[in-house]
Every structure is written in structure tokens, then in C-alpha cells.
Chain A
Amino acid sequence: MLKITNLSASIGDKQILNNVNIELAEGRCLLVTGQNGAGKSTLLHAIMGRPDIAITGNIDLDSVELHNMDCHERARSGVFLAHQAPPTIDGVNTMTLFKEVQKAQNLDITTGNLIKQVKDLSEQFGLPDDWSKRAFNSGASGGERKKGELMQAEVLSKKTKLLLLDEPDSGLEQSSRQKIVELIENTCNSGGSVMLVTHDKELQAKYNDNKLDLNNA
């Protein structure tokens, strides 16, 4: 259960969120809507623990006080954020990043199986053959970066208790959008929760029954 109580968030002098309250049960997906600048991404980053977002209020995940943890501790506690604009990280080899994530998060998978899973997933997503050998996101298009985020979400799915999806569909072709639905369904079916920010009408319609509108929050 994700329980957010009286969450306010600001960046510098600008207050973005004011007294947001959320209760999200296991197995549920919450659609977060609002106009540009309403604070949808800020809400997800505040939950993830982005250091330049100052917050007040409580963020509890299964009674674990996320608000008292650093970002990397929240990730290790089962929070996964698929970033809207994942960066290029020079000098960081993509496959090595997966291996270091495996170590940091104590994933229950051998290195050999991890390498196989990453290769299989990159084939499924139609990523270039050398994708995992490159520097992270080097030369990647917007769509390829999004696929990389979904792949990581897939690899970490067994550990994920709260999946935060920040416009995962933008730049993706229709066939890959089905992967987003599968990821949400799989996360919910295995007892996790999902928060989804999207401008995609089909996805909005699909998850419209449980909605937080930040315009009116």
C-alpha cells in the first residue's frame, strides 16, 4: 500500500505540489492527469527522491517511510521510475549498468541469465544489436531511450513494489505501447502498484477508473 499524506513539493522558491494525499492499494494502477505544469512529473520524482525537490509530508510504501530515505535507498526498497527523458551517460557501458544494478539491488538472477535476458529483451523491443555494448543511451533516439526504460522495468519487475511511469508512451510505436500495458498488468498482478502519467488517450481511457487530477488536487 502506498500512502501519501499532506505532500507538498517545491523546487527552489517555486511550490509545485500542495497537500497531495493518495492511497494506492496493491494491484492497482493510478492514472495521474493534469495540464502541463500541474506537477505530474514532480509528483513522481518527489516519490523517487530527486534531491532538488524539497518535500514536506509523508510517503509510506508498505509502512516503509520513503520520505526519510535517499533516492538510491528508495530504489532498493522497490520503487522504480521510468524516466520521461533518460540521459546519455558517457563512460557508462549499458550492459555494465545492468550488472551494477543487479549487484546494488541484489537481484535473484545469475549474471549469465541477466545478460541473456537483456539480449532477449533488446531483440523483442527491436533495439540495435550493439545497444547493450554502447555507452548508456549513446546515439539513442527518444523512442529507443523509452524502450530502454521499459526493459529495465522488466528486468527489475520481480523487485518492484511501486512502478512510476512518466510518459512511457511518448516516441514509441504502437507495437511497443502494448509492452506498457503488459508491464502495468504484470506489476499489478504480482502485487505491486503503478502510477501512470500519460497523454495517450487509449492508455488514459484504459486506466480512467482510478484517477488523480492534479489540476484540482
Chain B
Amino acid sequence: MRKVYLDADSLDLMLVPVHSEYEFVFIQTEGKCTAKIHLKPQSNAKFKVKIYIYAEGNSEVDCVCTLDVPKDIDGVETDIQFRSWPFDKSKIKARPEMFIANSNIIATHGNALGAMNKEDTYYLASRGISDAKELIKQSLINA
């Protein structure tokens, strides 16, 4: 399942994962977006969550993804990954929160900043692209 949010302001999602993979894409060009994603899996649910955040200008995104596994939920396997691209003067706060009360759970998470390195920037320039912003934005929208 894939959802794209363009210039959202406030979002509060409660999700009982049934698919194997979820992608949430936030494109913020203005204003502030506050997003909360609550994951409440059933026993033996196996799923991945990828959250991509692009921000430009003076926009801000504050996103938290919460995994809630009470004691009676067993055998969950999950991976939550954030990837953020803050351009210009934008700000992105992105964090996973895990509340796990059962020991038979596998839960991993990661948080990466998607800044372009010099090699990537040069490569794109050699194709005539001087600004990667639009490329990243369109890639996230069209992927």
C-alpha cells in the first residue's frame, strides 16, 4: 500500500497492518505538517513500513511512527524506515517510537538523511540537471 500526501497539515492514522509493505510519502512545499502514524499489529503480522519525507522552502514536517505491541500480541516481525530530504530552509523531524510488551517480537528501525553527495550531484549535472530538488520530488510522487 502506498499513500502520497501533498502539503498536508495534520494527519493522525491508526493502522492494523494486513499488507506486507506500506509506503507513506510526505511532500511538503509550504506550511507545517504534523503526522502521527500508529501501528497496531495483530499476532504474527509481518510487515515493513517506509516513510519518505521531502520538504522545501520554509516548510516543516514533524512525523512520528508508533509501534504498539501489547503483551498478548505475539510473533510480530516489522521494520520501520524513515528517509528524509530537507531542502532549502525546511525542517524535518522524523522518529520511530516502539512500545513493545512481548519478548517474541522482531522490530527494527532506521532513519536516514537523503542528502545528495558530490558524486551524485556531479552525475546529475553531467546529464544537464543542476537542481536535484524537482527530480527527488517527482521521483517520490511517481515511484
Cα-based distance from A76 to B126 in the complex (angstroms): 9
Question: Chain A's nearest CB lies how many Å from the CB of B58?
Answer: 22
Question: Chain A's nearest CB lies how many Å from the CB of B56?
Answer: 14
> Are B126 and A75 closer than 8 Å at their CB atoms?
yes
| B128 CB contacts on chain A under 8 angstroms | 72, 75-76, 101, 104-105
Q: Does B15 contact A (CB under 8 A)?
A: no
> Are B139 and A96 closer than 8 Å at their CB atoms?
yes
Q: Which of A70, A95, A152 contacts B127 (CB 8 A)?
A: A152
Using a Cβ–Cβ cut-off of 8 Å, how many residues does chain A contribute to the interface with B?
30
| B140 CB contacts on chain A under 8 angstroms | 91
| A83 CB contacts on chain B under 8 angstroms | 123, 126
Using a Cβ–Cβ cut-off of 8 Å, how many residues does chain B contribute to the interface with A?
26
Question: Chain B's nearest CB lies how many Å from the CB of A103?
Answer: 8
Q: Does A52 contact B (CB under 8 A)?
A: yes
Quick one: closest A residue to B112, CB to CB? A90
Quick one: closest A residue to B84, CB to CB? A91
Cα-based distance from A17 to B93 in the complex (angstroms): 47
Q: Which of B52, B116, B125, B139 contacts A71 (CB 8 A)?
A: B125
Q: Which of B119, B120, B125, B134 contacts A72 (CB 8 A)?
A: B125
Quick one: closest A residue to B83, CB to CB? A91
Question: Chain B's nearest CB lies how many Å from the CB of A130?
Answer: 12
Quick one: closest A residue to B141, CB to CB? A96
> Are B119 and A87 closer than 8 Å at their CB atoms?
yes
Q: Does A197 contact B (CB under 8 A)?
A: no
| A49 CB contacts on chain B under 8 angstroms | 125-126
| B139 CB contacts on chain A under 8 angstroms | 91-93, 96-97, 135
Q: Which of A50, A75, A76, A99 contacts B138 (CB 8 A)?
A: A99
Question: Chain A's nearest CB lies how many Å from the CB of B74?
Answer: 34
Cα-based distance from A86 to B127 in the complex (angstroms): 12
10 shortest interchain CB distances as A-B pairs: A93-B139, A71-B125, A104-B128, A75-B128, A72-B130, A72-B125, A96-B139, A105-B128, A76-B128, A100-B135
